[in-house]
Amino acid sequence: MLNHAYERALLVACEDVALADGPLSELPWAEFWLNPRMLRGSDFLMRWSQGVWSEKRLIEAVNATAQFFALPYGPSGVAPEDPRGVELYFERLQAAGLDDHKRPDLLIFRREDQRLAERLVAELGGEAELPFTPDEDDRVRRLLDRAVLAVECENSLWHAARMPDYGKPLNEKRIARGQPGLAKGAVLPTVILKDEDMPRLAAWQRRERIPIHIWHVFFDRAYGIGFDRARKLIADGLIAPTVQTFQAPGGAITRKSIFKIYYHYAYELGVSVTEPALKAQAITDKNGHVLPYVTFDGGELKLSNEAVAMLAQFRHRVPA
């Protein structure tokens, strides 16, 4: 059981933790203490960096349109990029009693509401203060009144178009229910929805009356799907849960279910005009141990015409 927001935020699937097992675990920085929790290898910092990078690319892609702009709303989008500051950020979030308060990562607005939204955020102290401000605050209420869409962000370390089963149709039958699908173990782009997030996102969407979409970023493209559509696919048995074992920075192991929604059911959100570069980084602990890790630098995502047309269909909510 993970009770600290910092531990939950840096969960990594064990199959993705390259240094957790085997001979590579003998590397001197495979057990690195950071403020003071232990990071098993570079994977945790790399995944955190990847998440920050992908949210920024989505914000830039929306802001590059003439019709819309985006603001970070959840904690990950405005948390420090410097790994030394990440834990202190979550300590403050927990002290404010908001560490378990699930918010979508981004809010999307129409361009004509940009000045109002930016003024409200400035009154709160800037984007970095938004996660520490309760939704009951009048300025946050007014901000939400103008939002047309909320976005939950996910990302993957894959070139989607190079995945082995990319382009294959859903023409095989699943034995259990005779539903269209692909062979077990197929490797293709998916949009991920975490089982544990579903009730909290559903509660937020119901309370705020703002639709949620899930946007999943790959190196070369991105896909999106409506939260309600994703839940219906799951309820209809078209998408089965996948159980993954996760490891937190402190070493705690937990099992969680996720839903990998075939990209066939999603809309193409955008394509990479310029792909990101991989940039080497490192931090050093108080004993002189060096922890190298990889960050994601640059790149540009352009929203598809389909995504822009989809956004144009949404209207801001009527204040209660």
> For the whole model, what pTM was predicted?
0.82
> Is 39 in a helix, a strand, or coil?
strand
CB 195 within 8 A of CB 256: yes
Domains in the chain: boundaries: 5-312
Which residue type, as a one-letter code, is found at position 30? A
DSSP code of residue 134: -
Strand 31-34 relative to strand 37-40, pairing: antiparallel
CB 200 within 8 A of CB 232: no
Distance CA 79, CA 158 (A): 24
Question: What pLDDT digit, counting tens, does each position of 57-73 carry?
Answer: 999 999 999 999 999 99
Residues of the chain with pLDDT under 50: 1-2, 14-41, 175-176
DSSP code of residue 44: H
User: What's the half-sphere exposure (Cβ side, CA atoms, 13 Å) at 37?
Assistant: 25
Question: What pLDDT digit, counting tens, does each position of 103-151 carry?
Answer: 899 999 999 999 999 999 999 999 888 877 888 899 999 999 999 999 9
Q: How many CB atoms are closer than 10 A to CB 270?
A: 25
What's the pLDDT at 44? Answer: 61
Distance CA 203, CA 209 (A): 10
> Is 55 in a helix, a strand, or coil?
helix
Whole-angstrom CA distances from 150 to 70, 104, 198, 226, 236 are 9, 6, 14, 10, 24
CB 275 within 8 A of CB 299: yes
What's the pLDDT at 33? Answer: 35
Q: Would you state the structure tokens that stand for residue 306, as one six-digit string?
A: 């389909």
Which residue type, as a one-letter code, is found at position 44? F
